[in-house]
Amino acid sequence: MDTDVFKALFYPETVAVIGATEKKGKVGHALIDNLLKTEGNKQIIPINPKSTEILGKPCYKSLREYKGNVDLSVIAVPTKAVKDAVQSSLDAGARAVIVITAGFKETGPVGAVMERKIAKLCQDRGARLMGPNCLGLINTQHALNASFATQLPSAGSVSVISQSGALCTAILDWTVGRHLGLAKLVSVGNKADLDEIEFLGALAEDEQTKVIIGYLEGISSGNRFIKAAEAVTLKKPVVILKSGTSAAGGRAASSHTGSLVGADIAYGAAFKRSGIIRADTFEALLDYATALAMQPLPQGDRVAIITNAGGPGIMAADAVELQGMEVAILDRATASALKAKLPPAASVGNPIDVLGDADPERYATAIKAAQDDDAVDAIIVLLAPQAMTLPAETARAIGKAIRGEKPVLAAFMGGKEVMPGRDELVTYGLPDFPSPERAVAALKAMVDYYRWRHKPPRVVTRFPVNRRRVERIIGRYVRGGQHNVGEVDAKEILRAYDFKIPTGQIAQDVDQAVEIARSTGFPVAMKIVSPDIIHKSDLGGVKLNLSTPDAVADAFDLMMLRINRKMPEANLRGVYIEKMADRGIEVIIGMTRDPQFGPMLMFGLGGIFVEVMKDVTFHLAPITADEAMQMLKATKSYAMLEGVRGQTGVDLSAIANGLQRLSQLVSDFPQIVEVDINPFIVGPAGTEPIVADARMSLLTTGSEHE
Amino acid sequence: MDTDVFKALFYPETVAVIGATEKKGKVGHALIDNLLKTEGNKQIIPINPKSTEILGKPCYKSLREYKGNVDLSVIAVPTKAVKDAVQSSLDAGARAVIVITAGFKETGPVGAVMERKIAKLCQDRGARLMGPNCLGLINTQHALNASFATQLPSAGSVSVISQSGALCTAILDWTVGRHLGLAKLVSVGNKADLDEIEFLGALAEDEQTKVIIGYLEGISSGNRFIKAAEAVTLKKPVVILKSGTSAAGGRAASSHTGSLVGADIAYGAAFKRSGIIRADTFEALLDYATALAMQPLPQGDRVAIITNAGGPGIMAADAVELQGMEVAILDRATASALKAKLPPAASVGNPIDVLGDADPERYATAIKAAQDDDAVDAIIVLLAPQAMTLPAETARAIGKAIRGEKPVLAAFMGGKEVMPGRDELVTYGLPDFPSPERAVAALKAMVDYYRWRHKPPRVVTRFPVNRRRVERIIGRYVRGGQHNVGEVDAKEILRAYDFKIPTGQIAQDVDQAVEIARSTGFPVAMKIVSPDIIHKSDLGGVKLNLSTPDAVADAFDLMMLRINRKMPEANLRGVYIEKMADRGIEVIIGMTRDPQFGPMLMFGLGGIFVEVMKDVTFHLAPITADEAMQMLKATKSYAMLEGVRGQTGVDLSAIANGLQRLSQLVSDFPQIVEVDINPFIVGPAGTEPIVADARMSLLTTGSEHE
């Protein structure tokens, strides 16, 4: 987003409101009312053909009548009048136009055409359009409420991007009394022009914005989103609540990989790839934002817990372990320091129990000791209101004791009695959560984000490959309009990317089959070759472990006989004879191309582990060596690869290497839409895995119309 | 709990407070202050040797001086003076004594002895003791606050049992302003006499209590708890938050079954077995209580969602699917009814979107339609505050429209603006949650509870078995002080409970081995028999699939040679020769005896599924046929048993039958502490599974001292 557009949207000096009205209950009324209430440093110009004055301001029949220039125009006229309103705004020099009005793309194709037209109008004049069908925007730093939300939030460092206007108002209402200040709030609506990606980029540069939170139902462009998001998350945290997680389910697909990935998995992979913190619930979104906005990042996951009651302390420790963090083992010096100052009955382990009658001073002592301890990265401080508890004074003592180097998150449990304590906490910049579990979950988001910020730079290895050879094979399929690449050619493609393929050849008749088997060496596998047959084994087109010339001859004849009987129309190219792979562990590596985010690599242990246990992991290509290894480690069956019960493990880096080569292949050839290497047979360290079977499909002109 | 004790505790007419004081900040002050504030229908007697008057009441030096009778005595004197205070209370005729004072069992063995002494004092006089080291109790129906918590909650139908006094105060504080009324609140403290089980039973009979919630860190007696809880949950819902879930981890155990079960799994099984609703977080505990107290149970899991905004509707639908419930498919008549009354842009599917400008009437229309629809079991109603939204009026319209047959749970999202709506909802008995996700989670707890209440009665099948034979074998081991039952005898025990065991016999020399192999039929398995060898295969003591007499002879000699070399001191009884079991799917069934809850049965697919994937399920014995089948279905690998990729499935009921027989065996013989039947080889329907290997351990006098 250009600087002048950003300025026009968020820091306008002149704002036109086309469709302003005095009629209460109308959007046009809320808009003008909000803007006038915060007029101050800006000039607000109401436009309505039927009025000469609105809320004490002179009103123009049209922006053309006004004659002066405007920076921003906010439009809330009936759908049919929007186009003209946009035109008049552009004529008045508006660099940004917000269309609040609904009735466009969301109503069907006619609305979609109208929407594209007004977007084009703006683009042709170098201006930008926000909306239509949105709530508007808010910028607390400019005291600008260009929305029909009635509440202007207090100023703060959290900015909001939402695809739902109602979520915006719910968030605005939530922040009142909860001390979460906002910087900017944007309701993107139908995203005819400006979308979440543009605003992400703009807010990344915004000095007032420390944390960006978002609500998304869908994304305009997966690739652009990932690139933009990655750039932003390296500067400041982005927390997103993505709804519609369950509805999608698995898609129809011919590969294992394809059938196992749902839209939600793709979003998960995209968020992970770009460092976005995912919130699973509405409350988590706001909890994480609060913690990230108020406290420094922890530099590790070792948590000290301070409490005035045993129960909540145990609950917090449970939550820390459940989230995969560590209940810190306090230094001996800390225990001594605490023992010297706390009553004898206090527990100086972790949780540090300052006892039910704890005064503010005891809390301060514990906070100081935990901050001093190098074995502590973060502090959770709990308070349950008891007979002698002074919530407000305790909050103040904690606030004075914190030094701001390690994050301190509080959970003052209860309601009315602890409320004054909560209010005090905020004045010291301390976030408070209603339960130990929620404080710990927010801390976990901070730990994850710290790790993202401090991960080594991503370096994708490029391997020397025979790209030309793959171009030729794929070219042949594309020219022939053939969607499915059979095993033989799929293996040729993989061989060109340095995958190890068993030696083999196609036989046209029995004698040739026996001859090839003799020269490759027994035992052999035999597989029918036909562009018409995808599921070879279902038709008896696969025979494994044949050890003698006779067995090969028998298999050839039987295969021909049976396939001719079951599928006489199939075009048979012969039978592929190849050396059986050595025994090893069977894994599957694959790829499916997500419509939003592009190539998703998959890894899993073969057979039932994939089919029944669904124990697979995904990552967006291109992938680094480290990410490939993480894919292996993230499966439940990883221990199998490392070797269980005294069995030797397999060559893990060889699998990771295979994933990287596959990543390179599918990045080089966007025509490849699905790949299954199944099984990919891996042996002990030092051996090279073998592609025992492979399948691929391409995007051809033929298949585009499928 | 006897009726007179219950009356003395919750409905006392005369209450002594031993240790009452005018010194603010002291527990004895809070106690007397609380009791006097709610004196009304009761007589409160302060006791303190140093005062003659407390808060305007005449004070006695000791209860002995008072002379009259008391129903209840509340004690808050220093630890050393507790015993005498208890004695004086009993002398004054108290039927119940509450000891608030701490410094007993929780401080070590000396305190534990003191605690037992005061408990015995009470028992000897037929009175009951609550505490020590507790907060006291509250009964809103009798306006009784016999605790040092300063807030008396509003009267309601939820009763609380807590092992943590601080949790009690946090809950009390939470309920203020959140409209959750309480009936009775009990802080059980150290449970020297009265424990959670007694109070569960008492509250089950209490007419004012509709829902019981509890916070537990540990349970006094697992078996008693399960029996008591099951009886209670068939009358009213019990929700429990159990902390300390993560700390326990796996225990040291020699069986697979034993190593896979942690204390938390045992608690989970016990709660499931007794119909307790488990809350995982502090907020969930209160959310579930609120929903259960205010609304009728749903009779199914088909949920209608009503919303004035798309986003929250999607969030609710996601949550419904995630919780395994159904987004209801509305009847066509419902859609027509809605279409007739809602604006054209409204969505009449599910979620029913009444649009951003919805007035109260639209909500009422949608609520009525959803109530009329037989395809709807429960209703979630969402509101996001938007420009035209009237939260209070909408709440009133919803409240008036509800008929109380189906549960209606609201989530008015936001803060300040929706607060008046929340207050209105409560006056109509409608629970409100801060997010769609939390409303849905509370509904799920209700659905689960409805199912528990309507499940068929548990009938445990008893199979005809040869119990005598097992008694003889076990008797031999117990007399010999032998802990581990070897494979041969374990199989004999299982055979007596009608498990199918491969035919076999022990051979003492090579010739006998060959002879036995010939008579059982090849192929055979050979396994060393020795009480000193537990892990036979590690020492080369197992050979499988031997098909010829020569192979049997070779195996016998090698086995003897190697074991003599590696473990010359082992007492060898010979080599067991048995017929190899037919091939099939290997599963594991086992049992480990939980110290709290007794025999926990385990089921899992054998080998790596158990060892690597930990894909196992547990259930407390004794088990019904239905529960056994549920154990199979709850594993991720269940599809393997049913048959995948065209393979025939196995005889599921035969496995379930095996679990039931094992259940009967371990119920009949409490001496058995661990069993692994691994592998238990199962074949297609109609075949009988075979015990291919088995291991057992017993509680013997020798092992008791381990």
Task: Concatenate the DSSP letters of all residues of B384-447 into one string.
Answer: ---TT--HHHHHHHHHHH--SSS-EEEEE-SSTTTHHHHHHHHHTT--B-SSHHHHHHHHHHHH
Question: Are A369 and A337 spatial neighbours (Cβ–Cβ below 8 Å)?
Answer: yes
Q: Which of B261, B537, B676 is nearest to A645 (CA)?
A: B537
Percent of chain B predicted with pLDDT > 90: 77
Indicate which of A32, A33, A386, A542 best probes the interface with B, i.e. most B CBs within 10 Å of its own CB. A386
Chain A nearest-CA distance from B608, in A, is 8
Predicted pLDDT at B246: 63
- Note whether B246 contacts A413, CB cutoff 8 Å: no
Distance CA A90, CA A99 (A): 13
Question: Are A392 and A326 spatial neighbours (Cβ–Cβ below 8 Å)?
Answer: no
Distance CA A655, CA A649 (A): 12
Question: Are B502 and B694 spatial neighbours (Cβ–Cβ below 8 Å)?
Answer: no
Question: Are A152 and A145 spatial neighbours (Cβ–Cβ below 8 Å)?
Answer: yes
Question: For the residues A577-591, what does the mean pLDDT come to?
Answer: 90
Chain A nearest-CA distance from B530, in A, is 23
Q: With an 8 Å Cβ cutoff, is B648 touching chain A?
A: no
- Note whether A437 contacts B215, CB cutoff 8 Å: no
Predicted pLDDT at A249: 32
Please tell me whether residue A238 adopts helix, strand or coil conformation: strand
Distance CA A473, CA A475 (A): 5
B163, B164, B315 member nearest A243 (Cβ): B315
Tens-digit pLDDT profile for residues B579-624: 988 888 999 999 999 888 999 999 998 877 787 788 899 999 999 9
Tens-digit pLDDT profile for residues A9-59: 999 999 999 999 999 888 999 999 999 998 888 999 999 999 999 999 999
Residues of A within 8 A of B107 (CB-CB) are 345
Tens-digit pLDDT profile for residues B41-60: 899 999 999 999 999 999 99
Mean pLDDT taken over chain A: 92
Q: Which two tokens stand for residue B310?
A: 């798309």
- Note whether A244 contacts B438, CB cutoff 8 Å: no
Chain B nearest-CA distance from A285, in A, is 11
The yes-or-no verdict on residue A344 having pLDDT over 80 is: yes
Backbone φ, ψ for residue B162 (5° rounding): -135, 140
Question: Are B179 and B426 spatial neighbours (Cβ–Cβ below 8 Å)?
Answer: yes
Helix (H) or strand (E) holding A599: strand A598-605
- Note whether B177 contacts A415, CB cutoff 8 Å: yes
Residues of B within 8 A of A166 (CB-CB) are 308-312, 356, 384, 386
Percent of chain B predicted with pLDDT > 70: 96
Question: For the residues A375-398, what does the mean pLDDT come to?
Answer: 95
| Burial of B23 from C-beta contacts in 10 A (0-12 / 13-18 / 19+) | exposed
- Note whether B167 contacts A384, CB cutoff 8 Å: yes
Distance CA B195, CA B130 (A): 8
Q: With an 8 Å Cβ cutoff, is B152 touching chain A?
A: no
Residues of B within 8 A of A280 (CB-CB) are 437
Q: Which two tokens stand for residue A12?
A: 């306008």
Tens-digit pLDDT profile for residues B50-97: 999 999 999 999 999 998 999 999 999 999 999 999 999 999 999 999
Predicted pLDDT at A701: 63
Tens-digit pLDDT profile for residues B334-369: 999 999 999 988 889 899 999 988 999 999 999 999
- Note whether B283 contacts A321, CB cutoff 8 Å: no
Distance CA B327, CA A262 (A): 19
Q: Which two tokens stand for residue B215?
A: 């916070």
How far is C-alpha A94 from the chain's CA centre?
Answer: 35
Q: Which of A419, A445, A444 is nearest to A432 (CA)?
A: A419
- Note whether B615 contacts A615, CB cutoff 8 Å: no
Predicted pLDDT at B704: 43
- Note whether B415 contacts A174, CB cutoff 8 Å: yes
Residues of A within 8 A of B283 (CB-CB) are 434-435, 437-438
Nearest CA in chain A to B134: A356
Question: Are B640 and B620 spatial neighbours (Cβ–Cβ below 8 Å)?
Answer: no
Residues of A within 8 A of B27 (CB-CB) are 387
Helix (H) or strand (E) holding A423: helix A419-427
> How many contacts, defined by CB atoms under 8 Å, are there between A and B?
229
A148, A215, A637 member nearest B612 (Cβ): A637
Q: Which residues pair with A224 in a beta bridge?
A: none
Q: How far is CA A290 from CA A49, A286, A325, A407, A639, in A?
A: 45, 6, 20, 12, 38
- Note whether A283 contacts B437, CB cutoff 8 Å: yes
Residues of A within 8 A of B645 (CB-CB) are 611
Q: How far is CA B504 from CA B81, B490, B492, B500, B546, in A?
A: 70, 13, 11, 12, 14
Q: E strands of A281-377, at which residues?
A: 302-307, 326-327, 352-353
Residues of A within 8 A of B318 (CB-CB) are 243-247
Which residues 130-149 of B are in CB contact (within 8 Å) with A?
148-149
Which residues 331-390 of A are in CB contact (within 8 Å) with B?
345, 356, 384-388
Nearest CA in chain A to B436: A282
Question: For the residues A164-173, what does the mean pLDDT come to?
Answer: 92
Q: What is the amino acid identity at position B506?
A: I
Residues of B within 8 A of A640 (CB-CB) are 608, 612
Distance CA B229, CA A66 (A): 77
How far is C-alpha A193 from the chain's CA centre?
Answer: 22
Distance CA B529, CA B577 (A): 10
| Burial of A113 from C-beta contacts in 10 A (0-12 / 13-18 / 19+) | exposed
Q: With an 8 Å Cβ cutoff, is A564 touching chain B?
A: no
Q: Which of A135, A133, A183 is nearest to A160 (CA)?
A: A183
Predicted pLDDT at A223: 87
Q: Which of A292, A497, A514 is nearest to A407 (CA)?
A: A292
Mean pLDDT taken over chain B: 92
Predicted pLDDT at A97: 98
- Note whether A415 contacts B637, CB cutoff 8 Å: no
Helix (H) or strand (E) holding B528: strand B524-529
Q: With an 8 Å Cβ cutoff, is B550 touching chain A?
A: no
Question: For the residues A154-172, what does the mean pLDDT come to?
Answer: 94
Q: How many CA atoms lie within 13 A of B536 on its CB side?
A: 23
Q: Which of A81, A566, A131, A389 is nearest to B169 (CA)?
A: A389
Predicted pLDDT at A246: 62
The yes-or-no verdict on residue B256 having pLDDT over 60 is: no
Nearest CA in chain B to A285: B435
First-residue to last-residue Cα distance in chain B: 37
Q: Which of A568, A580, A572, A555 is nearest to A506 (CA)?
A: A572
As a residue count, chain B comes to 706
As a residue count, chain A comes to 706
Indicate which of A281, A288, A610 best probes the interface with B, i.e. most B CBs within 10 Å of its own CB. A281
Distance CA B472, CA B478 (A): 10
According to DSSP H, which parts of B521-591 are helical?
Answer: 549-566
Distance CA B282, CA B280 (A): 7
Task: Please report which confidence band the pLDDT of residue A253 belongs to, taking 50, 70 and 90 as the band edges.
Answer: very low
Q: What is the amino acid identity at position B223?
A: N
Predicted pLDDT at A618: 94
- Note whether B25 contacts A388, CB cutoff 8 Å: yes
Distance CA A198, CA B522 (A): 75
Q: With an 8 Å Cβ cutoff, is B452 touching chain A?
A: no
Distance CA A692, CA A586 (A): 9
Which residues 266-285 of A are in CB contact (within 8 Å) with B?
280-283
Q: What is the amino acid identity at position B630?
A: Q
DSSP string, A43-92: EEEEE-TT-SEETTEE-BSSHHHH-S--SEEEE-S-GGGHHHHHHHHHHT
Question: Are B659 and B621 spatial neighbours (Cβ–Cβ below 8 Å)?
Answer: no
Question: For the residues B127-139, what does the mean pLDDT come to?
Answer: 96
- Note whether B282 contacts A613, CB cutoff 8 Å: no
Question: Are A100 and A129 spatial neighbours (Cβ–Cβ below 8 Å)?
Answer: no
Predicted pLDDT at B701: 63
Which residues 400-419 of B are in CB contact (within 8 Å) with A?
413-418
DSSP string, A436-483: HHHHHHHHHHHHHHHHHHTSPPP--------HHHHHHHHHHHHHTT--
B27, B386, B637 member nearest A169 (Cβ): B386
Backbone φ, ψ for residue A457 (5° rounding): -60, 145
According to DSSP H, which parts of B216-281 are helical?
Answer: 222-233, 256-260, 263-273
Nearest CA in chain B to A440: B281
Predicted pLDDT at B259: 60
Q: With an 8 Å Cβ cutoff, is B178 touching chain A?
A: yes
Which residues 15-74 of B are in CB contact (within 8 Å) with A?
25, 27, 30
How far is C-alpha A4 from the chain's CA centre?
Answer: 30
Residues of A within 8 A of B160 (CB-CB) are none
Query: How much is the CA Rg of chain B, to the nearest whole Å?
Result: 32
The CA-based dihedral angle spanning residues B307, B367, B427, B316, taken in that order and rounded to the nearest 10 degrees: -30
Task: Please report which confidence band the pLDDT of residue A255 belongs to, taking 50, 70 and 90 as the band edges.
Answer: low
- Note whether A245 contacts B318, CB cutoff 8 Å: yes
- Note whether A437 contacts B30, CB cutoff 8 Å: no
The yes-or-no verdict on residue A706 having pLDDT over 60 is: no
Predicted pLDDT at B249: 31
Q: Which of B547, B513, B511, B512 is nearest to B527 (CA)?
A: B513
Predicted pLDDT at B218: 81
Q: With an 8 Å Cβ cutoff, is A259 touching chain B?
A: no
The yes-or-no verdict on residue B667 having pLDDT over 90 is: yes
Question: Are B527 and B542 spatial neighbours (Cβ–Cβ below 8 Å)?
Answer: yes
Domains and CATH numbers, chain A: 3-217+225-234 (3.40.50.720), 295-453 (3.40.50.261), 503-580 (3.30.1490.20), 585-704 (3.30.470.20)
Task: Please report which confidence band the pLDDT of residue B262 belongs to, taking 50, 70 and 90 as the band edges.
Answer: low
Chain B nearest-CA distance from A511, in A, is 34
- Note whether A312 contacts B167, CB cutoff 8 Å: yes
Q: What is the amino acid identity at position B680?
A: F
Nearest CA in chain A to B433: A283
Q: Which two tokens stand for residue A416?
A: 């009315």
Helix (H) or strand (E) holding A490: helix A487-496
Question: For the residues B205-231, what does the mean pLDDT come to?
Answer: 92
Predicted pLDDT at B434: 93
